[in-house]
C-alpha cells in the first residue's frame, strides 16, 4: 500500500487587480489594435453560453510557477485563449497584474525569469512574434501608490526566423533573463541572448536534427502519423546542468549540450516506439551534482559524470501521464515530487530514494470537504467551496435547466391567491433544487481543477490549477492516522477503519442531530449527568437510523467494539497532534458516535460504562475545540483550515479580527465565564445590540491584557471594571450605555466624573450631566459647557433646571453666545427667573437686530418689529410706573420712550401703505 504522508490545501487570499493593455502590434503590414481586440472579445463573450464564458474567462489552460529568492513565489496563468496574461503573488497579500494581449500565444512558449528587480515574461505569439513583458516587483505590493509609466513594461520583437520552423518549448538557459533557449518542432535548438536594448541575438545549436527531420518526413518510418509537422527528434524537456544543457526528445533520447560550443552528445537512446511522448513536460530535473530523467515507468538518477547511478520504478501508473517532476537532496536521500494527470484530475506522488536505490513511495491525502450541501443551512457553509465566477455561471445554467420544483413554483404563486402551503413538499423540492445546483457547481469545479503547473519549494509543493492555487505540505500524525486507516495496520489504524466503516452507515440527518445535541452540551454547563444525556442522544439517533440499515450498522459496530481499548490512545493522539481542522472534527465526531452506541449496547455487562462516559467527556472537550476552530476558519473564508495550536486566546483573536456580523455568529461558542461575557458584550456592541451587550457587561469581568490587545483596547491599569467598561463602550459610540456603567463606579475620582459628564453630554442625558457638573464636579467650566450644550440642543430643557447659585453664569453665557435663538432663549430664561427688566432688554436688543436687516420691501419683518414693541410694552406694563424701565447698550429706556418709538414706527408703516395704494 502506498501511504499518504502529505496533504493538499488551497492558498487563500484575495488580490487587488491592476490591468494593462499590451501596445498595438504590426503583423504583415496589418495593425492589431489591442483595445479593439479586447472589446470584440468581450462582446463575443456576452453572446456566449454561461459555461463557455466561465471556462474562457476564469479557467486557465496554460501557466507556470516562478520562484524568486528575494521576492517570493508567483503564478503566471493565461485566460481567454491566451489573450489575457495574469501574474499573482503566492502566499502574499499582493496585487494581481493582468495584461490584455492583441493575439493569443503559442502553448509552452512562455518563459518567466527575473532581472534587476523586474519580472520578465517572454512569449511567442500566435503570429510567431516575440512579446516581452517587464514588470517591476514593486508593482505587486499592496500599498504601492506609484503612478507607473507602462510604456517601458512591454516590447514587441521580430520572429527571428522561427515562423517556418515552428516553436515547441521556450526555457531559460541558465535560469537568468539574459539567455533563453527555444526548442523547434523540427528538432532544432535556438539560443536567444538578450541585448542591452531588450532585443535578442540568436544562434543555432550545432546539430543535424533539422536535416534529419526533413529526411524523416519523406523517407523514415519513424514518424508521428497524427502530428506530421513534429519530428521525433524534437526536444520536449530541458534543464541546465553545470555548463551543459540536458534535453529529452520525443523519442526519449537524452542529450547533453556543451554551452561553450553549442554542440550535443547523446547519452541515452531508446528504440521503443511505445515510449514516444509529444507533450512538453518535465522529463529531466536537476539538483546539485545529480540529475534525474523519466522514461516509461522508470526514473533514472545520474551523477555529474553522466553515469546512471540507479533506476527506480514508479508503482501503479495506469492511465496517468507525467505532468511535472522535481527533486532535491535531503539528509543523504533524494526527495522526488511528481505530478500525474488523467483528464482534468491530478495526483501527487512523492518518493524518498536512498543512495542504495531503495525507494519509498507516498501519496497526497485529500482534505475532507465540509458536510454535503443538501439544505439551505448547510449550503451557507459549503458556499466557500466555490468561487464567485463559478457560482454565477452555475446559477445561470441552473436558471435555464435546473428548475425549482412544482411546490416551490406554487409557493411563489401563492402570493397572488389563497393557497394551503405544502410544507413537506416545499422542503423536498428545496432540497432537490439545492442538490441540482450543487451538482452543477461540482461539475464546473471539476472542469476548472486541471493542474497546469507545479513547483517544489523546500518541503512544500505548489500546484497551480486552472482556477486556483494549492500548497502541499507534510501531514501531521493525526492526518496520517486518518488518511492511512487500514484493517491490517496498527490498533489505532484498525480503530479508525472500524469507526469510519461504522459511522458511514449513518445518514447526514442523524449526524446533524447528534452534532446539535453535543453543541448544547459544550455550550452550556449541564445540570444533569452525562450518562443520562448519552441515553437521550441515543434515543434520537435510533429514530434517525433506517431500519434496513440496522444489520449493517451493528455488523460494523462489532469491529469498533473489538478495539474499544484503543479509544484512549486516540484521545491522547488528539491531545498532542495538530493538523487539518476538518480531519480532527470528523475523527472526533465519529469517535463520539461510536462511544455513544457502545454505552447504550444492551446485554453487555463486560463494558466499563463509567470508563466509556469518561472517554466521551474527554472527546467532547476536543470536539468543542475543533468545532470552534472549524467555525473560525469558515468565518475567515478559509476553505480548509489547520488547528495550529488553536486555543481560547486564539479564538478571541479571531473574534477581534472578524467583521462584526461574522464575529457575532461565533459568540455562541464562548464560555459562560465572566471574561468571556465581556468579550461577547464587545462583539454584540459592535453589532449595535446595545441591550444584549449591557446584560453581558454586567455579568462580565476583565479578560487578559492579551485579549484586550487583540480588540485594540488599552491595558486596564488602575481602572475599576465599571470605569474601564464605560470607556470602552463610549469609544464605540454608545454614550448612553457608557453613562450607566460610569454611574456604577464606587468612589469615583475627578477624572472618572469628568468622563461620566462627557458621556452624558454626548448622549444628551442632561439629568446625569447636570447632577455631575453642579453637585459632584462643582466647577464653572463644566457648568458652562453644560449650559451651552443644552442651549444648542434642548433649550427648553435648560429652563427646567434651577442652576442654584449659577444664575449670573447662565445669563452671561447666553448673552455672549452666537446662537440663532439667542434673544428668545435669553428672554425666556430671564422671565423664568422673574428678571422683567432683563427680559425687556433681551427683546429690545432683538428688535434692534431685526431693524438692521430691513429694507423697503420686507413687510413681514416690519410687522415682526411691531410685535416685539408690543411684547416689550407688555413686560414693562407688568411693573410699577417707577420700575417700568430697562438699560440697553448703556442707555436707559422708559415705558414712555418705548411707546414713542412704537408710535413713530407705526406712523411710518401707515405712510408707506398710503404710497402703495396711490
Q: What is the pLDDT of residues 23-52, one digit of tens each?
A: 988 877 678 888 898 898 888 877 777 888
pLDDT at residue 379 is higher than 50: no
Examine the pLDDT at 879 and tell me if it is beyond 60.
yes
Q: Using CA atoms, how far apart are residues 466 and 401, in angstroms rounded to an integer?
A: 25
- Cell numbers of 657, please? 479580527
What is the domain partition of the chain in residue ranges? 11-231+276-362, 376-448, 482-635, 834-918
State how far the Cα of 478 lies from the Cα of 363, in Å rounded to an integer.
16
What sign does the dihedral 350-352-357-361 (CA atoms) show? negative
pLDDT score of 211: 57
Residue 597 has pLDDT above 50, yes or no: yes
List, for residues 329-352, the tens digit of each pLDDT value. Answer: 887 788 888 888 888 888 888 888
Q: Which residue has the higher pLDDT, 528 or 799?
A: 799
% of residues, the chain, pLDDT over 70: 84
The radius of gyration of the chain's CA atoms, rounded to the nearest angstrom, is 41
pLDDT of residue 415: 44
Would you say residue 249 has pLDDT above 70?
Answer: yes
pLDDT at 549 over 90: no
Return the C-alpha cell found at 140: 505587486
Q: Using one digit for the tens of pLDDT, what is the confidence trace for 780-814?
A: 999 999 999 999 999 989 999 999 889 899 999 99
pLDDT tens readout for residues 609-630: 788 888 888 888 888 888 888 8
Q: Which of 434, 554, 469, 467 is nearest to 506 (CA)?
A: 554
Long-range contacts of 676-685 (CB under 8 A, 24+ apart): 676/700, 676/703, 677/701, 678/702, 678/703, 678/725, 679/652, 679/655, 679/703, 679/707, 679/711, 682/711, 682/728, 683/655, 685/729, 685/732, 685/734, 685/737
Q: Which has the minimum average pLDDT: 258-272, 739-753, 862-876?
A: 258-272
Which residue did the predictor score with more confidence, 805 or 640? 805
Cα–chain-centroid distance for residue 5? 28
Contacts with 137 (C-beta within 8 Å, 6 or more apart), sequence order = 68, 71, 114, 117, 118, 119
pLDDT value, residue 518: 78
Q: Which of 81 and 330 is assigned the larger pLDDT?
A: 81
Domain at 11-231+276-362: CATH code: 2.130.10
The pLDDT value given to residue 911:
84
- Inter-CA distances, 412 with 376, 380, 409, 432, 865, Å: 17, 22, 5, 17, 66
Residue 239, pLDDT score: 92
Verdict on whether the full-model pTM lies above 0.75: no
What cell was used for 508?
Answer: 447526514
pLDDT tens figures, 116-146: 999 999 999 999 999 999 999 999 988 888 8
pLDDT tens digit sequence for 140-163: 988 888 888 888 899 998 888 888
Distance CA 424, CA 805 (A): 75
The secondary structure of 881-901 as a DSSP string is: GGG-EEEETTEEEEHHHHHHH
- Position 734 scores a pLDDT of 93
pLDDT reading at 489 higher than 80: no
According to the model, what pLDDT value does residue 113 have?
A: 95
831 pLDDT higher than 80: yes
DSSP notation for 606-670: SS-HHHHHHHHHHHHHHHHHHHHHHHHHHHTT-SS-B-SS--HHHHHHHHHHS-HHHHHHHGGGS
Q: Nine-digit cell at 134? A: 517587464
Alpha-carbon distance values, 137 to 89, 144, 871 (Å): 10, 10, 78
Amino acid at each position: 500500500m502506498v501511504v499518504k504522508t502529505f496533504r493538499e490545501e488551497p492558498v487563500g487570499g484575495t488580490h487587488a487587480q491592476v490591468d494593462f493593455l499590451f501596445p498595438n502590434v504590426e503583423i504583415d503590414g496589418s495593425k492589431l489594435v489591442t483595445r479593439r481586440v479586447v472589446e470584440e472579445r468581450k462582446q463575443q463573450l456576452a453572446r456566449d453560453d454561461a459555461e463557455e464564458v466561465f471556462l474562457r474567462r476564469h479557467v486557465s489552460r496554460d501557466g507556470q510557477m516562478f520562484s524568486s529568492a528575494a521576492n517570493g513565489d508567483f503564478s503566471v496563468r493565461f485566460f481567454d485563449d491566451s489573450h489575457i496574461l495574469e501574474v499573482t503573488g503566492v502566499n502574499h497579500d499582493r496585487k494581481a497584474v493582468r495584461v490584455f494581449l492583441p493575439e493569443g500565444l503559442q502553448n509552452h512558449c512562455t518563459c518567466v525569469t527575473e532581472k534587476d528587480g523586474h519580472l520578465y515574461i517572454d512569449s511567442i505569439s500566435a503570429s510567431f512574434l516575440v512579446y516581452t513583458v517587464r514588470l517591476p516587483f514593486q508593482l505587486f505590493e499592496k500599498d504601492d501608490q506609484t503612478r507607473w509609466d507602462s510604456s517601458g513594461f512591454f516590447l514587441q520583437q521580430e520572429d527571428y526566423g522561427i515562423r517556418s520552423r515552428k516553436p515547441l518549448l521556450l526555457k531559460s538557459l541558465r535560469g537568468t533573463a539574459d539567455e533563453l533557449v527555444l526548442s523547434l518542432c523540427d528538432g532544432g535548438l535556438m539560443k536567444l541572448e538578450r541585448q542591452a536594448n531588450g532585443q535578442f541575438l540568436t544562434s543555432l545549436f550545432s546539430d543535424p536534427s533539422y536535416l534529419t527531420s526533413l529526411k524523416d518526413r519523406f523517407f523514415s518510418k519513424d514518424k508521428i502519423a497524427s502530428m506530421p509537422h513534429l519530428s521525433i527528434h524534437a526536444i520536449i524537456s530541458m534543464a541546465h546542468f553545470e555548463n551543459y544543457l540536458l534535453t529529452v526528445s520525443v523519442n526519449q533520447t537524452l542529450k547533453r549540450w556543451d554551452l561553450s560550443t553549442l554542440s550535443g552528445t547523446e547519452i541515452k537512446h531508446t528504440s521503443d516506439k511505445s515510449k514516444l511522448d509529444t507533450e512538453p513536460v518535465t522529463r529531466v530535473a536537476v539538483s546539485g551534482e545529480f540529475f534525474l530523467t523519466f522514461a516509461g515507468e522508470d526514473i533514472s538518477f545520474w551523477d555529474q559524470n553522466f553515469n546512471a547511478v540507479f533506476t527506480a520504478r514508479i508503482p501503479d501508473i495506469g492511465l496517468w501521464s507525467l505532468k511535472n517532476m522535481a527533486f532535491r537532496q535531503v539528509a543523504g536521500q533524494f526527495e522526488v515530487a511528481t505530478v500525474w494527470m488523467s483528464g482534468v484530475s491530478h495526483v501527487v506522488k512523492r518518493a524518498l530514494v536512498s543512495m542504495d536505490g531503495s525507494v519509498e513511495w507516498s501519496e497526497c491525502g485529500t482534505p475532507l470537504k465540509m458536510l454535503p450541501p443538501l439544505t439551505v443551512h448547510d449550503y451557507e457553509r459549503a458556499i466557500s467551496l466555490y468561487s464567485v465566477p463559478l457560482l454565477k455561471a452555475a446559477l445561470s445554467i441552473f436558471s435555464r435547466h435546473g428548475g425549482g420544483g412544482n411546490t416551490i413554483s406554487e409557493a411563489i404563486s401563492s402570493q397572488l391567491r389563497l393557497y394551503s402551503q405544502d410544507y413537506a413538499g416545499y422542503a423536498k423540492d428545496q432540497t432537490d433544487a439545492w442538490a441540482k445546483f450543487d451538482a452543477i457547481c461540482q461539475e464546473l469545479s471539476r472542469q476548472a481543477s486541471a493542474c497546469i503547473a507545479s513547483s517544489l519549494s523546500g518541503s512544500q509543493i505548489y500546484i497551480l490549477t486552472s482556477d486556483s492555487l494549492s500548497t502541499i505540505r507534510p501531514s501531521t500524525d493525526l492526518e496520517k492516522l486518518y488518511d492511512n486507516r487500514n484493517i491490517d495496520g496498527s490498533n489505532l489504524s484498525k480503530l479508525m477503519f472500524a469507526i469510519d466503516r461504522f459511522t458511514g452507515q449513518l445518514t447526514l440527518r442523524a449526524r446533524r442531530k447528534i452534532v446539535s445535541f453535543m453543541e448544547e452540551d459544550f455550550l452550556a454547563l449541564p445540570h444533569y449527568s452525562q450518562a443520562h444525556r448519552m441515553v437521550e442522544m441515543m434515543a434520537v439517533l435510533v429514530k434517525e437510523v433506517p431500519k434496513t440499515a440496522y444489520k449493517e450498522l451493528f455488523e460494523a459496530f462489532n469491529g469498533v467494539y473489538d478495539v474499544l481499548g484503543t479509544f484512549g490512545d486516540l484521545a491522547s493522539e488528539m491531545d498532542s497532534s495538530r493538523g487539518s481542522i476538518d480531519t480532527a472534527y470528523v475523527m472526533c465526531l465519529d469517535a463520539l458516535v461510536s462511544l455513544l452506541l457502545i454505552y447504550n449496547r444492551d446485554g453487555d455487562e463486560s463494558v466499563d460504562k463509567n470508563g466509556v462516559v469518561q472517554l466521551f467527556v474527554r472527546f467532547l472537550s476536543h470536539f468543542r475545540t475543533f468545532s470552534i476552530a472549524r467555525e473560525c476558519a469558515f468565518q475567515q473564508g478559509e476553505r480548509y483550515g489547520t488547528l495550529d495550536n488553536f486555543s481560547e486566546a486564539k479564538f478571541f483573536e479571531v473574534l477581534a479580527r472578524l467583521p462584526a456580523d461574522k464575529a457575532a455568529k461565533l459568540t455562541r461558542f464562548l464560555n459562560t465565564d465572566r471574561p468571556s461575557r465581556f468579550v461577547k458584550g464587545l462583539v454584540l456592541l459592535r453589532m449595535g445590540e446595545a441591550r444584549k451587550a449591557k446584560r453581558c457587561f454586567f455579568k462580565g469581568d476583565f479578560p487578559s491584557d492579551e485579549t484586550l490587545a487583540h480588540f485594540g483596547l488599552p491595558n486596564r491599569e488602575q481602572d475599576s471594571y465599571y470605569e474601564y467598561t464605560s470607556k470602552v463602550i463610549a469609544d464605540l459610540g454608545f454614550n448612553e450605555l457608557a453613562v450607566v456603567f460610569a454611574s456604577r463606579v464606587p468612589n469615583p475620582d475627578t477624572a472618572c466624573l469628568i468622563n461620566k459628564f462627557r458621556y452624558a453630554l454626548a448622549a444628551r442625558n442632561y439629568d446625569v450631566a447636570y447632577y455631575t457638573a453642579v453637585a459632584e464636579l462643582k466647577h464653572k467650566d463644566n457648568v458652562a459647557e453644560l449650559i451651552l450644550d443644552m442651549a444648542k440642543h434642548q433649550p427648553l430643557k435648560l429652563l427646567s433646571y434651577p442652576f442654584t447659585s449659577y444664575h449670573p453664569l447662565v445669563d452671561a453665557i447666553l448673552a455672549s453666545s452666537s446662537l440663532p435663538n439667542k434673544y428668545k432663549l435669553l428672554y425666556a430664561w430671564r422671565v423664568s427667573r422673574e428678571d422683567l427688566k432683563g427680559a425687556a432688554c433681551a427683546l429690545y436688543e432683538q428688535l434692534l437686530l431685526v431693524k438692521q436687516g430691513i429694507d423697503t420691501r420686507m413687510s413681514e419683518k416690519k410687522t415682526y418689529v411691531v410685535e416685539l414693541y408690543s411684547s416689550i410694552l407688555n413686560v414693562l406694563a407688568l411693573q410699577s410706573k417707577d420700575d417700568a424701565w430697562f438699560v440697553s447698550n448703556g442707555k436707559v429706556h422708559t415705558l414712555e420712550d418705548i411707546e414713542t418709538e412704537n408710535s413713530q414706527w407705526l406712523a411710518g408703516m401707515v405712510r408707506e401703505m398710503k404710497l402703495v395704494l396711490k
